[in-house]
Amino acid sequence: MLLFLRTWQLGIKSLLLHPLRSLLTVLGIFIGVASVIWLLAIGEGISRKAQEQIEGLGANNVIVRSIKPPSEVTEGMRGPVPYGITRRDFEAITETVPTISRALPIRELRRRFSYSTRMVDGRLVGCTPEYAEVTKLEVARGRFLSDADVRDKQNHCVLASGTAERLFPFEDPVGRSIHIEEAYYVIVGVMKPRNPTAGIGGSLAAQDFANDVYIPISTLWSRIGDFIVTRRSGSFEGEIVELSQVTLRVDEVKNVLETSELIKQTLASRHRIEDWGITVPLELLEQARTTRLMFIIFMGLIAAISLVVGGIGIMNIMLATVTERTREIGIRRALGAKRRDIIRQFLVETVALSVVGGATGVLVGLTCRPVTGWVRYLVERLLPDVIEQLPEVIKTVEPSVVPWSIPLAFFISVTIGVVFGLYPAMRAAAMDPIEALRHE
Amino acid sequence: MKLAASVQQVTKEYVLDGETVRALRGVTLEVPEGDYVAVMGASGSGKSTLLNLLGCLDRPTSGKLLLGEDDVSQLSDDRLSEIRASRIGFIFQSYNLIPQLTVLENIQVPLYYQGRLTARERDRCHELAGMVGLADRLKHRPTQLSGGQQQRVAIARSLVNDPYFILADEPTGNLDSVTTEEILGLLDALNEAGKTIIMVTHEDDVGARAKRIIRLRDGNVLSDARQQQKRKAVIRH
Ligand SMILES: Nc1ncnc2c1ncn2[C@@H]1O[C@H](COP(=O)(O)OP(=O)(O)O)[C@@H](O)[C@H]1O
Ligand SMILES: [Mg+2]
């Protein structure tokens, strides 16, 4: 034990004789290990975010959307072009697919809401009572839409927090009426504010709920109808859309893929053009898992390369050290060192170098999260334009250190020390003691 | 009388670029315990080769080499290392201390390779340092010492494993006459205390301090003579 300590003490002493050289050698392993941990942490952060988004969509859900067909397809058609999911599609799906336990129809329009002299431009959402639960919106005052509202096509509406604040800065909106397109709607409730988030309500794009107004979808259909006019480059263009989106819940996760297949077939048989799209979060989730695996393999490759480069650095230095210390090796051999004593001596030095590199690399790897925070803060401060253009994932990613990457990185660094230290050490041990003594 | 070493018909050949160099051509000699031998001869006569064989740094090409009871001409590399660690003391012309170690640590090196670095052995290292007059330099590094002081450390180191004999290859070759005298005085004292010493030198003055002079020429023993008495005075002129 004493001798063991002594070997280490000696090794470290020798390394400290050349502090700069040792530092530079350590740097290779240090960067390798730190980058393994960082890359994996960032990769994990991104894929976790993606998974959260997809899980937010609900693994049980299948989402069907209306898609405006490209103009080539509709060319030659006269008047307003009808497209997308229809009420009859909705019925066909809910009636023929038995594994669907709940269906949420949604129709969205951009409209102007006004109360006395105040106005807000926002999103008018026609929906059913389940909408609040599916989008995880909570009631602040009053209530959300009820089944009775939908059944009786009531002129009732619920305001999102932003709409409520802007239209009613001073008074309680519940019980008052707002004006939307030639009609008045009685406010029955106000929702709590909510950060714009992706993965909610069946959309992967981040949604801003602040300026919404919710009305029963039946009311929207009867009051406003399917025909919408949009102004585009001076001329008016009409569209006929019955449903913007339908979020369908499948009774059990194991039925999701089969059900989505059935829905696809149903819609395909009813539509001549591709004016609809389907999103199956479960499929996305599986894709995300594969992507994550690929990412880990890719990062592992990069890490392996950087560690090998670090290892070669160690080997290079150790070969130089061995040559430089030929005389010392001769002395030690003359004084009774066996070949394996010499091997051990030099191996201890490489392992010490790589352990120090590994340990500091792990420590710096652990600072990944705060450092990303600071970097983001700095970039936001100094280059706000650049930040604007970055994709959402990069703006919001929270790196999360993968626990197993720490022992792994450490283990690899020690292995690198042994593997790349072995050859120089063996060269040292193979020297003829007499020649080594004569060296210089 | 017990023999510290016995060399029987030893030859040593080196092959260099296809040519065979016969460094020793059949050397026979016996070194009894307590002897003080000076090996002399011209450069290239085989002195260092003989010393290296005695020091188990190399194996003879043919012949027998007995240290105590062991025939070392056939031993494995590891066994030779063990013998060097436990039975042989080396003193070199260029001191050969390890630069990153302190005086005390340098003295301890052979013990370290024997695996016996006990507290008692440590005390012994202190004693030896005191004996060579370096008790107050234990924490110094070789570069902080003069040549003579470094050679004293080497002498202390050669004694630490209580060896069969001390091998000294030109121990005073790098020293001035005053320090040479100091070192030779130390060796005299060791020999008087019973240590066997085999020393290579090409200086007659130095060789004259030994009890016995073996002269080599072209790998053969030219003469092997005991001196009647030690002629310490020779050093003076
Ligand atoms: N490693 C070696 N390889 C080849 N020849 C050697 C080697 N060592 C010594 N010799 C040769 O052996 C002879 C004796 O050398 P050495 O014992 O060093 O002589 P000395 O010490 O008396 O000067 C010389 O001719 C020398 O060139
Ligand atoms: Mg010589």
Residue A280 covered by a domain: no
The pLDDT assigned to A283 comes to 84
Name the minimum distance, in Å, from the CA of B122 to any CA of chain A: 13
Pocket lining: B14 vs ligand 1, CB cutoff 6 Å: yes
How many domains is chain A partitioned into structurally?
2
Domain shared by A229 and A294, yes or no: no
In a domain, residue A281? The reply is no
* In a shared domain, residues A294 and A216: no
Query: Residue A60 domain-assigned?
Result: no
Q: Residue A236: beta bridge partners?
A: A231
How sure is the predictor about B234, in pLDDT bands with cuts at 50, 70 and 90? very low
Name the closest-CA residue to atom 24, ligand 1.
B44
How confident is the model at residue A136, as a pLDDT? 80
What would you measure as the largest C-alpha separation in chain A, in angstroms? 106
Q: Would an 8 Å CB–CB cutoff place B33 in contact with chain A?
A: no
Contacts of A110 (CB under 8 A, 6+ apart): A121, A122, A123, A124
Instruction: Please give the DSSP secondary-structure letter assigned to residue A77.
Output: -
Q: Which of A220, A249, A274 is the last residue of a domain?
A: A274
| Nearest ligand atom owner, CA of B217 | 1
Q: Are residues A431 and A292 in the same domain?
A: yes
**Among A346, A358, A330, CA closest to A434:** A330
Confirm whether A431 is domain-assigned.
yes
Atom number in ligand 1 closest to CA B169: 21
Q: Give domain status of residue A62, yes or no.
A: no
Chain A residues within an 8 Å CB radius of B96:
327, 330-331, 334, 437
Q: Do A332 and B78 touch (CB under 8 A)?
A: no
Work out the minimum CA distance from A438 to partner chain B, whole angstroms: 10
Interface predicted TM-score (ipTM) of this complex, two decimals:
0.93
Distance CA A338, CA A119 (A): 91
CATH of the domain at B166: 3.40.50.300
- Cα A216 to averaged position of ligand 1 atoms, centre (Å): 107
Nearest to B100 among A13, A334, A437 (CB): A13
Q: Verify whether the Cβ–Cβ distance B100 to A338 is below 8 Å.
A: no
Rounded to two decimals, what is the model's pTM?
0.73
Q: Which atom of ligand 1 is nearest to the CA of B216?
A: 22
For residue A339, tell me if it sits in a domain: yes
Average pLDDT of the segment spanning B221-231: 80
Verify whether ligand 1 is closer than 6 Å to residue B23 (CB atom). yes
Contacts of A2 in chain B (CB under 8 A): 117
Chain B nearest C-alpha distance from A345 (Å):
12
Using CB atoms, pick whichever of A14, A17, A336 lies closest to residue B84: A336
Tens digit of pLDDT at every position of chain A (440 positions) = 666 777 888 888 888 888 898 898 888 889 888 888 888 888 888 888 877 777 777 778 888 999 888 877 666 666 777 888 999 999 999 988 899 988 999 999 888 999 988 999 999 999 999 998 888 888 999 999 999 999 999 999 999 999 999 999 988 999 999 999 888 999 999 999 876 665 555 565 666 778 899 999 999 999 888 887 766 666 667 788 899 999 998 988 888 889 999 999 999 999 888 889 998 888 888 888 888 888 888 877 887 788 888 889 889 999 999 999 999 999 999 999 999 999 999 999 899 889 999 999 999 988 888 888 888 888 888 888 877 777 766 777 788 888 888 888 888 888 888 999 999 999 999 999 999 999 87
The stretch B120-127 carries a mean pLDDT of 88
Pocket test for ligand 1, best of B13, B25, B43, B49 (most atoms within 8 A of CB): B49
- Which domain-ending residue is among A274, A309, A336? A274
Number of domains composing chain B: 1
- Please tell me whether residues A270 and A291 are part of one structural domain: no
B81/A17 touch (CB, cutoff 8 Å), yes or no: no
Q: What is the residue-wise DSSP string for B1-18?
A: --EEEEEEEEEEEEEETT
With helix as H, strand as E and coil as C, how does chain A read? CHHHHHHHHHHHHHHHHCHHHHHHHHHHHHHHHHHHHHHHHHHHHHHHHHHHHHHHHCCCEEEEEECCCCHHHHCCCCCCEECCECHHHHHHHHHHCCCEEEEEEEEEEEEEEEECCEEEEEEEEEECCHHHHHCCCCEEEECCCCHHHHHCCCCEEEECHHHHHHHCCCCCCCCCEEEECCEEEEEEEEECCCCCECCECCECCCECCCCEEEEEHHHHHHHCCCEEEEEECCEEEEEECCECEEEEEECCHHHHHHHHHHHHHHHHHHCCCCCEEEECHHHHHHHHHHHHHHHHHHHHHHHHHHHHHHHHHHHHHHHHHHHHCHHHHHHHHHCCCCHHHHHHHHHHHHHHHHHHHHHHHHHHHHCHHHHHHHHHHHHHHHCHHHHHHCCHHHHHCCCCCCCCHHHHHHHHHHHHHHHHHHHHHHHHHHCCHHHHHHCC
Assess if residue B236 is contained within a domain.
no
Is B44 inside any structural domain?
yes
Per-residue confidence (pLDDT) for residue B139, from 0 to 100: 94
Please check whether residue B231 lies inside any domain of the structure.
Answer: no
pLDDT of residue B233: 44
* B89 inside 8 A of chain A by CB: no
What pLDDT is stored for residue B236 in this prediction?
Answer: 40
Domain boundary among A225, A251, A274: A274
- Same domain flag for A356 and A378: yes
Q: Are residues A114 and A26 in the same domain?
A: no
B43 lines ligand 1 (CB under 6 A): yes
B201 within ligand 1 shell (Cβ under 6 A): no
With a 6 A CB cut-off, is B129 part of the ligand 1 pocket? no
Residue B49 pLDDT? 95
Contact B86 A336 (CB under 8 A): yes
Let me know if residue B192 belongs to a domain: yes
**Rounded CA separation A386/B78 (Å):** 67
Based on the fold, state whether residues A76 and A13 are members of the same structural domain: no
pLDDT per residue as tens digits for the range B26-74: 999 999 999 999 999 999 999 999 999 999 999 999 999 998 878 888 8
In a domain, B216, yes or no: yes
Clarify whether residues A129 and A191 are in a common domain: yes
Residue B107 lies in a domain: yes
Q: Do B112 and A331 touch (CB under 8 A)?
A: no
Q: Does the residue A61 lie in any domain?
A: no
Q: List Cβ neighbours of B30 (8 Å cut-off, separation of 6 or more).
A: B3, B5, B6, B7
- Within-domain flag for B190: yes
Residue in chain A closest to B79 (alpha carbons) equals: A338
Ligand 1 in reach of B98 Cβ (< 6 A): no
What is the average per-residue pLDDT within B201-219? 93
What is the chain B residue with the closest CA to A12? Answer: B100
Domain that holds residue A237: 68-274
Task: Find the closest chain A residue to B105 by CA distance.
Answer: A10
For residues A399 and A356, membership in a common domain is answered with yes
CA distance A351 to chain B (A): 20
Q: Which of A13, A330, A336 has the CB atom closest to B81's CB atom?
A: A336
One domain, residues A377 and A419: yes
Parent domain of B29: 3-226
Disruptive mutation site among B75, B81, B141 for chain A (greatest number of A CBs within 10 Å)? B81
Pick the atom of ligand 1 nearest to B41's CA: 22
| Torsions phi, psi for B199 (to 5 deg) | -125, 135
Ligand 1: nearest atom to the Cα of B49: 17
For residues A385 and B214, the model is more confident at: B214
B237: confidence class by pLDDT, cuts 50, 70, 90? very low
Is A63 within the bounds of a domain? no
The share of chain B scoring above pLDDT 70, in percent, equals: 96
pLDDT of residue A198: 56
Ligand 1 pocket, mutate which of B13, B19, B21 (most atoms under 8 A from CB): B21
